[in-house]
Amino acid sequence: MAKDKIQSEKKEEREYVIPLRKEWRKVANYRRTGRAVKEIKKFIARHMKVPDRDLNKVKLDIYLNQEIWFRGKRKPPAKIKVKAVKEGDLVKVRLAETPDYIKFLKAKHEKRHAPAEKPKTKPKTEEKKEEQTEGEKKEEKEKATSAAVQKETQAKAEAKMLKQASKTKEVPIHRKALKK
């Protein structure tokens, strides 16, 4: 059992240049990039010795996936340089040399998905008052926007009716009772 823990904690890292052209040329041109992704997974499963060569245990990084699909599904890259990290049975694959625009994207994603920092705590009574006032403000804004939307729909309906009324000739109604 101790050996299992040591092996599972051991991380194995390798870099590969994976040739893709030979495999994606075997399929129709509208399936090429999908085939390239499958070939990357097969290659990594074979070379990183994944048990039973299970492709579900090979995970591609989102930025690697974007790089492969960048030119569409008909024109994938001919080869790609990746870094594979094996953690237990799971193998994570990412780009070996990260381009600048991907570094920018990573920073953007981290910033967007980072937990928001909480400001210094205030006494609970003040927080409740602020929450209530913020809640009331939100309700007022929602009411104002819903009223504005209703007014717009009514104005559109009236304009439509006026437009239709102007197109039709109004014929005065003559009743026999009024003629007498």
pTM value > 0.75:
no
pLDDT 10s digits, 32-55 = 999 999 999 999 999 999 999 999
pLDDT 10s digits, 111-139 = 888 887 665 665 555 655 666 677 788 88
Cα–Cα distance, 93 to 65 (Å, whole number)? 10
Domains along the chain with CATH numbers: 2-98 (3.10.440.10)
Instruction: For 96, list phi and psi in degrees, rounded to 5.
Output: -75, -45
Tokens 């290659």 — which residue? Answer: 43
